[in-house]
Every structure is written in C-alpha cells, then in structure tokens.
Structure 1
Amino acid sequence: MALVKPGEIFKKAYQEGYALGAFNVFNLESIQAVLQAAAMERSAVIVQVSMGTRKYVGDVERFVKLIAMMAEPLTVPVCIHHDHCADFETCQKSIDSGFASVMVDGSMLTFEENIRLVRKVADYAHAKGVWVEAELGSLPGFEDDFFSEENHYTDPDDVVEFVRRSGCDSLAVAVGTSHGGIKADRDLTIDMERLQKISQNLPGYPLVLHGGASLTAAYIDTINRYGGKVESMKNVPERLIKETVRSGVCKVNMDVDNFNAYTAAVRKLMAERPEIYDPRKYSAVGREAFMAEVRHKMRDVVLSSGRY
C-alpha cells in the first residue's frame, strides 16, 4: 500500500472516528522510528517535514526520495507532507519535489490575503494531484525558531467561506493548542464548543489540529536530570487531544514529545555510559525512544492503531 494521498486515509479516519498522527522527521533514525511504529501498530501515518528540517537537510527533494524509498516496503499507508510553507514559491518547490501534501501557512495574513495565497497554491497543486492544507487562525508558541505570543482562535462563522473560496482540501484550526507549549500555571484546554461548531459547519470535511504534543513531564525531568536545561512548558493534555477526533479532526501534528523522548534517552545513556563514543549506539537508543512515543500516540491518543 505504502505511499498515498491524504484524502485516501482521511475519509476512513473520519468515518471510523480516529485521526492520523503527523510526525516530524529530520534524519534517517527519525524516519525509521516513524515508519517502524506505523508498521508495528498497523496504522496509517503522515511523515511530516518542517521548514526547520528543510533547512537542516539541504536538498529536500533527495530527502523526500529517501522517505519514499524507506516507506516502499510497508503494507500500511504512508503520506509525505510538508508543513508550514509560508509563500507560494516554497509551496511550489515542495510540490515539485514530490510531496503528496503541502500546508499553506497564511495564518499571519488577513482573511482575504490568506484566501488568495491558498487559492493560488491550490490551483497549482491540484493540477499535479497534490493535497492542500490551509490554516485559519493562529497558535502561540514556537514554530522552528520563530516564537509567537498571538493566539487567534478560528471563527466558526468564517470556515465555510474560507474553504469554498480558497479551495483547500483540509483546514488547520486554532482551538486552544500551542506550538511547543507556552509558559503557564496550568495545562491548556481545548475549546470543544468552538471545534464542534466548526465541524458542524463543515460536515464530512477533514480538520487538522496543530500543536498536538502534550509535553510529557517525565521526558523533560530526565533531560534536566542528566545535564539539560529544558524549560517546562504547558500544552493541552493527551486526554483532550483524544477527544478532538470525535469532532472531525483527522490529522494531529505531534512533534515535541517525540524529540524530548529521543533527547532524554540519549542524555541518560551518555551520562550512564560516558565511555561511549560511537554515534550509532546513542542514535539507536534515541530512535527506540522516538518510536515508542510515536506508537503511544497512535495507540492511545489518535486511536489509529490496528486500522490496517
């Protein structure tokens, strides 16, 4: 089955009441972790590339080919998606590089400017059979190296017009999550009433939730116990992320928990085994921790395990 378009897996997810995890990858080990997790959980998966990873790997077209080659033997569906493309040129290059899906980030634009940008991308993408995710509203927190304090919730009254005029295939909504967490005294929460209204206004339409990592405290504690200085942040707990799949959410972006799991495992090993110098040994430990966290998200949060 392997490589698919998002529409093929979103329809099944919507009908059966689960969502697909979208997991950012950045190197060989992270790709292995996500794909092995999908195979072991018998789950479809979205392998996601961020703008930060695009800069890190250099040649994004070769990186897409690497993901595709590694996904080829799998019997579960795999979709390769580019997250947060902020302009037409980046979207165009991503489409031409082989991504099955691109996300147009016009969240900092006006309503009309956002529509125009997404429409231009959609016209180009659809001619090449590529899926387009758009965003209406914006989330606070870090996206790669950029931090935003702004939290503009998606207005349920705007979504029908936006989808119709922009031509997007799925819509990322702002209903309470954050990118990478924010400083707060308590966990963030989901505005379920707002999400349900959006879903009611767009029946059968796939919604996307960004900022789906819950910032597991145990990983941060381990990192800091073994020499790290990672600041504790707050985001939406997993039980609330799980509830969103009942309201039309078909894709959940989950990133930071996987990275923290990887880093915690590597730091612990390096502290306990200071004689290790072979990067394969600590990279393997990081990969296993990354994979275990992805499996947990599939099984216990987005409920996609055992569907294929």
Structure 2
Amino acid sequence: MLVSGVEILQKAHKEGYGVGAFNFVNFEMLNAIFQAAIQKNSPLIVQASEGAIKYMGIDMAVGLVKILSERYPFIPVALHLDHGTSYESCVKAIRAGFTSVMIDASHHPFEENLKETKRVVEVAHTCGIGVEAELGRLMGIEDNISVSEKDAVLVNPKEAEVFVKETGVDYLAPAIGTSHGAFKFKGEPQLDFKRLVEVKKLTNIPLVLHGASAIPDSVREAFLSSGGDLKGSKGVPFAFLQEAIKGGINKINTDTDLRIAYMAEVRRIGNENNTEFDLRKFFSPAATAMTKVIAERMDILGSSNKI
C-alpha cells in the first residue's frame, strides 16, 4: 500500500526504531527490496535519486512502485525522492506520484537553504506529501579534525531548531559525520552522537541518517572474492547505526551495500561460467543476495514486525 513518508516515519519516531530507505534503479532491485519487507513484516521506504529517475524515467520509477505496492498491499511503502536538487525537481516528483521528497539545499548558506526548503514544504503539504531537508555538510570526520572544523562541517543544533520551526519540514537529515559511498573514514569510524541527541531534543521530529552504508564483512568478502576491489573502504558499523537510532534517527538511507552485494553475485556467476549469457541466471541470484542484505538490515534497524 502506497502511503506518505510522514505516516511511516512518525510511527518510527514515536516508537523509537529505524526504517531503511533503500535506493533502486531497476525492477530487480525494487523487487528484492519488497521481498525483504515481506520476509520481515517491515514498513518500507524506497527511494530514487535524480540520476536513477533519469536512467529509468520518472513514469517507470513510479509505475514499478505502484505495481508492487498493489501486488503486496499489506506492506506500507513510501516512494521518496532522494536528494532533489531544486524546487522544480521536487514538484515534478510530487506530480508524478512520489509520496515523499527531499529538497537538498544544504550546500547553500543557511538562510537560502531555509527559504528553498520552505517553498517545497508549502506545495508538498497541500498534497499530503512529506518533505525531508538536510543541514550541515555530509563528509566523513577524520581522527585529527579540530573542534572548529567539526563545527563548520556538522549540523548546528540551534540552527536545526530554527530551521524546523521556520520551514515546517517533516524530517531532517543532520550531518553528524558520515559520507556517501563506500569510502567514509580514513581512521576509525566516528559519529557525533552527542550532537545528534541535541538535535533530536530541539526539533522533536524524525531524523535521517545519510551515508549509512555498513559494508558488512559478508558483503565485502563476496565482492573481493569475485575479483572486486573496495580499496580499503570502511562503512558505518552496525553498532553505530543502532546507537544513532537510540539518539533519534528514524530513516536510514541504504544504497552502496545493495550495489556491492548485487555486483558480487553477478561477477561470481560470470567468473564461474564464462559461456553464460542468460540475464536471468545473473539477475535472480543477485537479487536474492540483495534481499538477504536488506532483511538483515531491517532486523538491525528495528523495523521488522512493525506492520
């Protein structure tokens, strides 16, 4: 059943658990995500970036989600625009059938970010659509970064309070030390949980963790053994994800882990049988590997059996 992102995340906010927001770029990925939700009886957020929409077509992205949500009506699912770069992009997604959008103006000065987010909120709320925004700059924190440098990169809790009050945004992604992709930390992983708790206290809305790829050992080993190279990547440990949820995170973006698991299986099959060219022989096992990663993540985040 296709529902608003607000419906899913407000429940998680009130009950103190996290919901994975899983990116997709084709049917195989999307179906793998739904299969995990069915296995774990979990609510679901599926999200498409502007790049994914360009690849699939916005009508295809929405159409696939609608078809699967109708096939499995017992799964509450929100379709989210990930990192919308403009007001126009968000409006286009809303008109196409997305039930949640993110306006990412975090690279702009605070006042401009606030103004642009408020514009999106005004139009989205007239349609019953939830809005996500971001504060701070998303990049990893190195061991030797100074306090002043951290304050320049990470979210300012007082600014977050003002931002939420002025914009009416439904959920907020505060920068607390993660980064996108597989290569997050040069030293030991660090997240500013104290800052997160303060943001939650001052805003009292669902919070979002971007750059939350974990790169679990099983996924890493499968990718490396198939001939892949992750160049010493470090993800966010599961224990950190759970600590972040305790601190107030309710939406956890997940993309890189899915891609790594998928490609590890595709490469393994190709290595084992270099005469194989039936796409189904590659895609079905790859989707199964992805479903396994997602199901494990739902248990870790606490969304299993929350329907």
TM-score norm. by structure 1 comes to 0.91
Calculate the aligned-residue CA RMSD, in Å. Answer: 1.7
Please state if 1:180 is matched with 2:178. Answer: no
The CA distance in 2 between the partners of 1:303 and 1:97, in whole Å, is 31
Structure 2 SS opposite 1:157: helix
Mark the runs of 5 or more structure 2 residues left unpaired by the alignment: 141-149
2:28 corresponding residue in structure 1 = 29
Aligned positions of 1:1-308 closer than 5 A: 2-57=1-56, 59-74=57-72, 75-140=74-139, 152-182=153-183, 184-203=185-204, 205-300=205-300, 302-308=301-307
Q: Which amino acid aligns with 1:81?
A: H
State the distance in 2 between where 1:152 and 1:185 align.
Answer: 16
The AA in structure 1 aligned to 2:139 is: P
What percentage of aligned pairs have identical amino acids?
37
Change (3 A) 1:29 1:229: same
Displacement of 1:206 in angstroms is 0.7
Q: Does the CA-based 8 Å contact 1:45-1:78 persist in structure 2? A: yes
Retained in 2: the 8 A contact 1:220–1:232?
no
Residues 5 and 129 in structure 2, CA contact (< 8 A), matched pair in contact too = no
Once the two structures are superposed, residues 86-136 of structure 1 have per-residue CA deviations (whole angstroms, 9 ceiling, x without a partner) of 111111111111100000001100000001110111111111111110101
Aligned amino acid, residue 304 of structure 2: S
User: Which ranges of structure 1 fall in alignment gaps of 5 or more residues?
Assistant: 142-149
Distance 1:153 1:228, change over 3 A: same
Supply the distance in 1 between the matched residues of 2:91 and 2:68 (Cα, whole angstroms). 24
Higher share in helix? 2
Partners of 1:184 and 1:44 in 2: CA distance: 30
Distance 1:7 1:262 in 2: 30
User: Bigger shift: 9-18 or 87-96?
Assistant: 9-18
Shifted more, 234-243 versus 110-119: the winner is 234-243
CA displacement, residues 198-242 of structure 1 (integer Å, 9 cap, x when unaligned) = 111123x11111111112344344333333333232232111111
Q: Distance in 2 between matches of 1:273 and 1:157?
A: 57
Is the 1:183–1:232 Cα contact (8 Å) retained in structure 2?
no
AA partner of residue 41 (structure 2): R
Distance 1:61 1:152 in 2: 36
Runs of 4+ deviating beyond 6 Å = none
SS in 2 for 1:64: helix
- Superposition deviation, residue 55 in structure 1: 1.8
Alpha-carbon offset, residue 183 of structure 1? 6.0
Aligned length: 296
